[in-house]
Structure 1
Amino acid sequence: MENQLDRISAVRSLAELLPLLDEIAREARDGQSTVAQRCALLRTLVLSPGLSQSLETGAAIDALVERLGPPDWIEHFGAVVDKEFPGLVVRVIDEQLDVGHLDLLNLVPAANVDVLLATLKKLGQYIDSVEGSVRRLRGMRVAMVCGALFERLQDGKIWRRRKVPACGIDGESIIGLKQKKALSDLPVAYERRVNQLQRADLRRSLEGVRTSAEPQSLPVDDYDKLFEVRSPLRLGISSANASDNHIRSKEQGGKTLNVGIDLCTADLEEPAPPLRVTARRLAEPRLVLHSRSAEFEADFEINTKGDAAAQSELFFAYNRGGDEALRMVKQALVHTGIVGADSQDVVADVGRLFGDAGIEITTASAIQQGSGLGTSSILAAAILKVLYRLTGHPAGTKEGEYPDLFDQSVLLEQSIGLNSGWQDARGAHGGPSAVKDFYAPPTNGLPTPELSYVEVDAELFRRRVILFDTGIARGATRGLNVVMEAYLARHRHRYGAIRESLAIHDRMVDALRAGDYSQLGQMASRYWQLRCILDPEATNPAIQQLFEPPLSELTEGGTLTGAGGGGFGLLIAREGEEEGLRECLKKLKDQRAYARSAVVDYRLDATGLQLTEHPAS
């Protein structure tokens, strides 16, 4: 027995393990092993570091169960699973092992309800034993497991004489569902709880950097000024496939590589910053908001002429699903303390800081959201920058901008249900080079990315890296992000893509530093393949044309920026094929899917968000 345990601990692949599994199955059938010995074998198998490293624990579990078959598995390992399974689930979560909970559930016979109930109880006890950030982050994985367990516990007969067990991560919604025994709603509710726990941890993490100072009144000298922020967008070359997600950064570290860029959009002769936010004080007590985006326009105004409570309710309509176009700037007014979170008189709140007068804010974007260029996140940072300048917050100054402004922009987006990462807005930060390589080490607190600038030949970059607007927008993620789901579930077939994405990131950085665009193209293509493994909806037959002949014959490789599914393609032209690639891309416009597409001229922008002040006209 000791020899078997040592051999399981030493294996590095499933192929090494299979002969040993045959031996274990044979001894179990022949009665040559005790329950205690089989318990030790199961623990060693599930917790094997070699199998976890090769992501083959799930396959090993399946192989063992298959060798015995359902009847013999229940006979010889049923008691083992009853005894060991709840504790193994907790250990996998607590030790952050790369073992999927769905793979673990393959150990449990379908009719074994008692072990599932015992696991719910064990998870509740575990959550009660941990505190702070650990409770919230491990709680995200606990929520995933609870959702899967309740998927299997839908039979109402199970609960006739039982209460649905509580868990320390349950929010009000889940508590209410459990009281009503609304079992069919619990799996989805726990999925939503994952995002809620991440947002809660992000807020707590930011408490350490958020200034406690109240917003200051606008100085009289600034009454007649127009404040304007212009910003580049960020061309994301790599995020190691969403490693800038909050929980992934905290637990495993995150890496991103992006470039600040200006774009040549409609009516422009040369590239310019695509985002613009302006603010000015109004002499009358009113709040006026304008949105001038590439895909829509919206306006909002409230003043002292109407009922204050009714107008305030209209302002907060975005919290109830309305006023999509202006929700970012409205929430930014709340975020910065200009408007109270539960204000019954929004106009009065504004007047308190602006000399019993009002304010007009206009946001403008030359690029539609869903482009994959960080538009929403950078717009959040630009809005906050101008509002912080108006209210005397240090993040509104050039010296105080980094990193506080970008941390706050993440929190702002999270507060309206957008799942952005820390790199999205940071891509617009200025410095010695437009190309920025970030690394956020694992941490128990707020991820603090270390910034390195990558020197490149800007003209060579522009010549070899072709930017193609597919004209296809992909909406921002509001549910459980598929990459985060693969991470938390340690999905057997998709989690490996997360691992490999981190591994090739540094090779992409090295290729850029060396000006090796052939290597960069190869890495970009592999990166795109990994993205599609993680999220099959990132691509479709139309998008895949960008990576197939005849286009692929003109490129070294490429990817889509952002989450994929549309937005901008980043294609690395082969030396001497730059114009041929541009012409070939332009011909795609004849296809219905690419009717709104365009090859986009751009330039690298190292200046970042620029705030200027002018006399208001």
Structure 2
Amino acid sequence: MEIVCERLEDLKDHCVPHAPGALLKAVCVCSGLVTYPSRQSLEEQLLQRWGGGVEIHTWSLLPHGSGLGTSSILAGAVLAAVYRCTGRTYDTDSLIHAVLHLEQMLTTGGGWQDQVGGLVGGVKVARSKACLPLRVEVERLTLSEDFLLSLQQHLLLVYTGKTRLARNLLQDTVRRWYSRVPSIVENAGQLVDNAEECALACTEGSLPRLGACLERYWGQKKVMAPGCEPAAVRIMMDALRPLALGQTLAGAGGGGFLYLLTRQPQQGEVVRQVLNNIQGLRDFSVHLVELDMDGISLLKSS
């Protein structure tokens, strides 16, 4: 799809999530590439500030509604590219907060977990204190090479063939939180505790302990967002349970990708065979995992 914005009015729908190019339009406004609304025309702004227009190309090989935080990670990458090409400096911390701002502007909600996961390298735990302005603090965990290798050999991504959008799930969850539903408030505290337990499991190099955290996390997600486990996904997870130390759906649940920590290493083909034997299950795929230890990097093309 090609979208050309020649008038400032063409950016009007930058806050409408399903509008064509909404994410990129929001990047243009959020990054300060252009100001909207403004008495200055789009042409005047671009010529005065940057000496001309900007052309942005983006692509993703992931299906929409994958649960892997694609929009947040893509937003971070595009913001970084726009900052670079307009001669401005940034760091990863500023990108994390810029994406948080962008997603509020885009009205998709969301938080900071996806861009932390995609923009910061290695295995990490991220925290934010209950205060404004919100500050996200990211701690990269120091893990042994043996554990990192073992993690890659035991961790698989399974595409369920079911996609979902998190927006409605998030809205319902936030409403229940604001209503101070006791089970939701208690569960939120347990989510935090489980994240810290997960970090300890990684630091100690314990795959069984990490698997238990994944299982606990999936139970907590189902409390937070009832209905996030489609029947087809439940059948898949039940069939894979004998092979798994732990498993959970990525993102807010409802479909997308399942991540699976297997009892034995290199179980990709075994997982495919199990899923092939489930009647009526189609469009699934199994993927190996490689940990990104570097985080976001920009390359200048010739």
> Does TM, scored on the shorter chain, surpass 0.5?
yes
> Are the aligned partners of 1:468 and 1:600 in contact in 2 as well (CA < 8 Å)?
yes
1:327 aligns with 2:22: yes
Pick 1 or 2: higher relative contact order, CA cutoff 8 A, min separation 6. Answer: 2
- The CA distance in 1 between the partners of 2:17 and 2:66, in whole Å, is 23
Larger radius of gyration: 1
> Are the aligned partners of 2:8 and 2:36 in contact in 1 as well (CA < 8 Å)?
no
Query: 1:461 offset after TM fit, Å?
Result: 1.0
Match of 1:365 among 51, 60, 71: 60
What residue number does 2:246 align with?
557
The residue identity in structure 2 corresponding to 1:383 is V
Matches of residues 192-231 of structure 1 in structure 2 within 5 Å?
A: none
What residue number does 1:609 align with?
296
The residue identity in structure 2 corresponding to 1:299 is E
What residue number does 1:346 align with?
42
The residue identity in structure 2 corresponding to 1:539 is E
Number of equivalences:
299
- TM-score when scaled to structure 1? 0.45
- The CA distance in 1 between the partners of 2:265 and 2:80, in whole Å, is 42
Unaligned regions of 5+ residues in structure 2, if any? Answer: none
What residue number does 1:532 align with?
222
Going from structure 1 to structure 2, the CA distance change for 1:322 and 1:440 (only over 3 Å counts) comes to closer
Cα deviation per residue 1:180-218 (whole Å; 9 max; x = unaligned)? xxxxxxxxxxxxxxxxxxxxxxxxxxxxxxxxxxxxxxx
1:482 aligns with 2:172: yes
What residue number does 2:119 align with?
429
Going from structure 1 to structure 2, the CA distance change for 1:544 and 1:334 (only over 3 Å counts) comes to same
1:389 aligns with 2:84: yes
> Are the aligned partners of 1:527 and 1:559 in contact in 2 as well (CA < 8 Å)?
yes
- The CA distance in 1 between the partners of 2:222 and 2:212, in whole Å, is 16
Match of 1:463 among 123, 145, 153: 153
- What RMSD in Å do the two structures reach over aligned CA positions? 2.4
Query: 1:354 offset after TM fit, Å?
Result: 3.3
> Are the aligned partners of 1:585 and 1:599 in contact in 2 as well (CA < 8 Å)?
no
- The CA distance in 2 between the partners of 1:458 and 1:474, in whole Å, is 30
Going from structure 1 to structure 2, the CA distance change for 1:554 and 1:435 (only over 3 Å counts) comes to same
- The CA distance in 2 between the partners of 1:428 and 1:326, in whole Å, is 21
> Are the aligned partners of 2:187 and 2:224 in contact in 1 as well (CA < 8 Å)?
yes
Cα deviation per residue 1:138-167 (whole Å; 9 max; x = unaligned)? xxxxxxxxxxxxxxxxxxxxxxxxxxxxxx
What residue number does 1:83 align with?
none
- The CA distance in 2 between the partners of 1:596 and 1:316, in whole Å, is 37
What residue number does 2:3 align with?
300
Query: 1:480 offset after TM fit, Å?
Result: 5.8
Going from structure 1 to structure 2, the CA distance change for 1:416 and 1:595 (only over 3 Å counts) comes to same
Query: 1:586 offset after TM fit, Å?
Result: 4.3
Matches of residues 117-516 of structure 1 in structure 2 within 5 Å?
A: 298-303=1-6, 311-319=7-15, 321=16, 324-343=19-38, 345-355=41-51, 357-395=52-90, 401-431=91-121, 434-456=122-144, 457-477=147-167, 481-516=171-206
What residue number does 2:257 align with?
568
SS of residue in 1 equivalent to 2:64: coil
SS of residue in 2 equivalent to 1:505: helix
Query: 1:603 offset after TM fit, Å?
Result: 1.0
- The CA distance in 2 between the partners of 1:353 and 1:478, in whole Å, is 38
The residue identity in structure 2 corresponding to 1:596 is D
Query: 1:382 offset after TM fit, Å?
Result: 0.9
Match of 1:520 among 210, 232, 249: 210
- The CA distance in 2 between the partners of 1:322 and 1:477, in whole Å, is 10
% identical aligned pairs: 26
Query: 1:413 offset after TM fit, Å?
Result: 1.0
- TM-score when scaled to structure 2? 0.89
Query: 1:438 offset after TM fit, Å?
Result: 1.7
